């Protein structure tokens, strides 16, 4: 794989206001994709999350959430270090969970599939629709310009349960196409569980366009909620 800095991705500057993550660009502030999706979850999804917290206990639920966040941060960092050439395969020989999970994604989802890298942890700001986010990886994947997100989980996922992941890809690809006049039509989720099970989810063509439109629907809902507050 090789680096191709054909796009100039801005440095990210973020803040938290009233529980919402916002990206700063000059004098403008843009709500993050994750905040938009979180605020516009369906009542069914909110109820399901609340029932889970009650079942495991709020203290345990918070611990699980914190552990997952730390694990995800470490996993992303290890993959990024590998792709930037800061570490080699021997770096992953120690039997640490985060490293093992990163290696699973690299071996199964990256090697032999990722041809070019345009950017990592790339900030994408859509000034037209007024939102922003950070894409884990952008490049040529399986011969196509693609935006890729890395995910970790406690157990295997079904596509029906990770719709927000696909909506994120819809938001990121739409923003990239608007800003850089590209035609990215492929999004990929590379996921590893704590038991080192690898999963990949690919959305492309009309399916990706559907998630772009669904995200715009959630963005409209978000703006309506904020305007009525």
**Spatial contact of 47 and 182, defined as CB atoms under 8 Å apart:** no
Q: In the predicted model, what is the mean pLDDT of residues 94-115? A: 90
pLDDT band at 48 (very low <50, low <70, confident <90, very high): confident
DSSP 14-81: EEEETTEEEEEETTEEEEBHHHHHHHT--HHHHHHHHHHHHHH-HHHHHHHHHHHHHHHHHHHHHHHH
Q: Which residue has the higher pLDDT, 81 or 211?
A: 211
pTM summary value? 0.91
The residue ranges of every structural domain in the chain are 2-46+113-228
pLDDT band at 196 (very low <50, low <70, confident <90, very high): very high
Task: Decide if domain 2-46+113-228 falls under CATH 3.90.320.
Answer: yes
pLDDT tens digits for range 129-179: 999 999 999 999 999 999 999 999 999 999 999 999 999 999 999 999 999
């Amino acid at each position: 794989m090789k680096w191709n800095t054909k796009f100039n991705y801005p440095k990210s500057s973020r803040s938290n206001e009233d529980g919402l993550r916002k990206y700063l660009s000059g004098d403008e502030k843009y709500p993050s994709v994750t905040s938009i999706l979180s605020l516009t979850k369906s009542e069914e999804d909110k109820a399901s999350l609340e029932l889970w917290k009650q079942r495991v206990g709020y203290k345990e639920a918070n611990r699980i959430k914190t552990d997952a966040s730390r694990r995800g941060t470490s996993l992303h960092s290890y993959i990024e270090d590998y792709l930037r050439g800061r570490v080699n395969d021997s770096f992953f020989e120690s039997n640490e969970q985060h490293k093992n999970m990163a290696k699973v994604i690299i071996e199964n989802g990256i090697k032999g599939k990722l041809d070019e890298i345009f950017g990592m942890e790339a900030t994408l700001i859509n000034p037209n629709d007024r939102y922003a986010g950070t894409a884990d990886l952008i490049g040529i994947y399986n011969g196509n310009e693609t935006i890729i997100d890395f995910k970790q989980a406690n157990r295997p996922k079904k596509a029906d349960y990770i719709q927000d992941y696909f909506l994120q890809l819809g938001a990121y690809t739409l923003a990239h196409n608007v800003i850089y006049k590209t035609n990215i039509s492929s999004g990929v989720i590379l996921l590893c569980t704590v038991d080192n099970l690898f999963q990949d989810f690919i959305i492309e063509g009309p399916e990706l366009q559907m998630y772009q439109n669904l995200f715009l629907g959630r963005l409209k809902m978000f703006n309506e909620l904020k305007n009525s507050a």
